[in-house]
């Protein structure tokens, strides 16, 4: 069962408009500006600014497409980026050779999720054409989706699920791909190897958690979900077999009364990591994957070189420590992927969907 709405960000609608025809420049109408929500510096909500003079996106590479945004959404990553989280690493990704000396990332458009219509395709794009309804999660080092138009690589884009409106579709790509990265690409879980496996999801009522619960149930796993009592009804409705209220007593003690797990997805981090791996089956290939990592924080605090070194030492030492105890320890991150969104779209359109607002 897959759902959207509460599982993703809050959708923001743009007025629908006709998709243009294919051209060789930024737009057949040669537009140079568009409306957008931007920030000119990092800070709190007061740094947000609405402008009608944001530069119109341009196709720089033959595999790119320009999408007319029909709906976008907000995720916690947008609030963090507004405050400057990850700026060091993201700026390195934007300009790895430092060819744009003196330039900054501002004005910066936030927003990762988009559902809309392809307006224009680069010369190397054959999978999409103008007028196609698509969805995508734009990487955080690129200009975001809180604009009238956004440019994306063709391999980041997928056809929108036919069963969803643009508003519904815009709530899912970022959280869906983050969960997919952790469970499938990093964790190695898939439809053919999940049946009967015991999965523990810590932080099961957030966007990533709610999608993860449904994905694991769609793949026939046994899911134990940890959330607050307020969210327990929702999580049960999504299909969780066991729901644990972390506020009803010591969480570690509650979980130790249950059989051991084959896989743990940790959306919480903090002190949880100190005891959660003891809940895994030893020497059986059991895996712990966390989405709460110090990678971007290390680079913000220590700089690129020292931050990457510290990160490498941390993850390497933890991986070895737990491997010697008979379990796998891994970090996961959001990964933009059109092919993964294709698979998610198939799951959404399979009929196993529910809407929660």
- 267 within domain boundaries: yes
**pLDDT above 60 (res 163):** yes
**161/191 same-domain check:** no
Residue 46 resides in a domain: yes
| CATH code for the domain in which residue 58 is found | 3.90.180.10
- CB crowding 123-136: b at 16 or more within 10 Å, else e: eebeebebebbbbb
Instruction: Tell me: do 47 and 151 sit in the same domain.
Output: yes
Q: Do 40 and 153 reside in the same domain of the chain?
A: yes
Same domain, 127 and 241: no
Instruction: Report how far residue 288's alpha carbon sits from residue 268's, in angstroms, rounded to the nearest whole number.
Output: 13
Q: Are residues 200 and 325 in the same domain?
A: yes
The domain total for the chain is 2
Regarding whether 308 and 207 lie in a shared domain, the answer is: yes
CATH number of the domain residue 249 falls in: 3.40.50.720
230 with 224: CB under 8 angstroms?
no
- Under 8 Å between Cβ of 8 and 75: yes
pLDDT exceeds 50 at position 304? yes
Per-residue pLDDT, 93: 95
Average pLDDT of the residues in 109-135: 97
Average pLDDT value over all residues in the chain: 91
Do 192 and 252 belong to one domain? Answer: yes
- pLDDT-based confidence at residue 100 (cuts at 50, 70, 90): confident
Answer yes or no: is 339 within a domain.
no
d(CA 168, CA 320): 42
14 pLDDT above the threshold of 90 = no
> Is 155 in the same domain as 240?
no
- Residue 242 lies inside a defined structural domain of this protein: yes
Secondary structure element (H or E) that encloses residue 15, with its range: none
Is residue 252 situated within a structural domain? Answer: yes
**Is residue 20 pLDDT above 90, yes or no?**
no
6: pLDDT strictly greater than 50: no
Q: Would you say residue 4 lies in a domain?
A: no
111 with 240, same domain: the answer is: no
Over residues 301-305, the mean pLDDT reads: 95
Question: Is residue 351 situated within a structural domain?
Answer: no
Q: How far apart are the first and last CA of the chain?
A: 16
- pLDDT tens-digit readout, 247-277: 999 999 999 999 999 999 999 999 999 999 9
What distance in Å separates the CA atoms of residue 197 and residue 184, rounded to the nearest whole number? 14
pLDDT surpasses 80 at 28: no
Please tell me whether residues 139 and 224 are part of one structural domain.
Answer: no
Domain boundary among 139, 171, 203: 171
Pairing of strands 222-227, 242-245: parallel
Query: Given this model, what pLDDT does residue 353 score?
Result: 52
**Whole-number percent of the chain with pLDDT over 90:** 87
Residue 7 lies in a domain: no
Task: Print the domain residue range for 117.
Answer: 33-171
For the chain, what is the total number of helices (H) and then of strands (E)?
A: 11, 17
> What was the pLDDT predicted at 103?
87
Whether pLDDT at 13 is above 80: no
Of 115, 231, 230, which is closest to residue 167 (Cα–Cα)?
115
Give the model's confidence band at 354: pLDDT under 50 very low, under 70 low, under 90 confident, else very high: low
Is the entire prediction scored with pTM above 0.85?
yes
Q: Are residues 53 and 130 in the same domain?
A: yes
- The answer to whether residues 146 and 267 belong to one domain is no
């Amino acid at each position: 069962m897959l759902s959207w709405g509460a599982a993703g960000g809050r959708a923001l609608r743009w007025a629908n408009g006709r998709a243009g025809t294919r051209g060789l420049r930024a737009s057949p109408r040669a537009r140079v500006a568009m409306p957008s929500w931007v920030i000119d510096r990092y800070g709190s909500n007061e740094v947000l600014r609405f402008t009608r003079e944001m530069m119109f996106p341009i196709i720089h590479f033959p595999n790119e497409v320009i999408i007319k945004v029909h709906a976008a959404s907000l995720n916690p990553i947008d609030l963090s980026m507004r405050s400057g989280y990850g700026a060091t690493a993201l700026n390195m990704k934007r300009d790895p050779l430092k060819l744009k000396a003196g330039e900054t990332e501002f004005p910066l458009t936030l927003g990762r999720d988009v559902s809309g219509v392809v307006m224009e395709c680069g010369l190397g794009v054959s999978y999409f054409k103008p007028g196609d309804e698509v969805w995508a999660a734009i990487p955080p080092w690129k200009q975001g989706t809180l604009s009238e138009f956004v440019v994306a690589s063709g391999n980041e884009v997928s056809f929108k699920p036919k069963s969803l409106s643009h508003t519904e579709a815009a709530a899912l790509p970022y959280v869906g791909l983050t969960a997919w990265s952790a469970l499938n690409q990093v964790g190695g879980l898939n439809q053919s190897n999940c049946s009967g496996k015991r999965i523990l999801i810590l932080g099961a009522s957030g966007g990533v958690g709610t999608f993860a619960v449904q994905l694991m149930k769609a793949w026939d796993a046994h899911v134990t979900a940890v959330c607050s009592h307020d969210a327990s009804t929702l999580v049960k409705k999504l299909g969780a077999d066991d729901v644990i209220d972390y506020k009803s007593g010591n969480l570690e003690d509650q979980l130790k009364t249950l059989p051991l797990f084959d896989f743990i997805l940790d959306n919480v981090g903090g002190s949880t990591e100190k005891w959660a791996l003891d809940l895994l089956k030893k020497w059986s290939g059991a895996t712990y994957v966390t989405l709460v990592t110090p990678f971007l924080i290390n680079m913000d605090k220590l700089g690129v070189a020292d931050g990457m070194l510290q990160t490498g030492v941390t993850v390497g030492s933890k991986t070895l420590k737990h491997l010697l105890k008979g379990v796998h320890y891994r970090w996961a991150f959001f990964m933009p992927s059109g092919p993964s969104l294709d698979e998610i779209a198939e799951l959404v359109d399979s009929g196993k969907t529910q809407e929660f607002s």
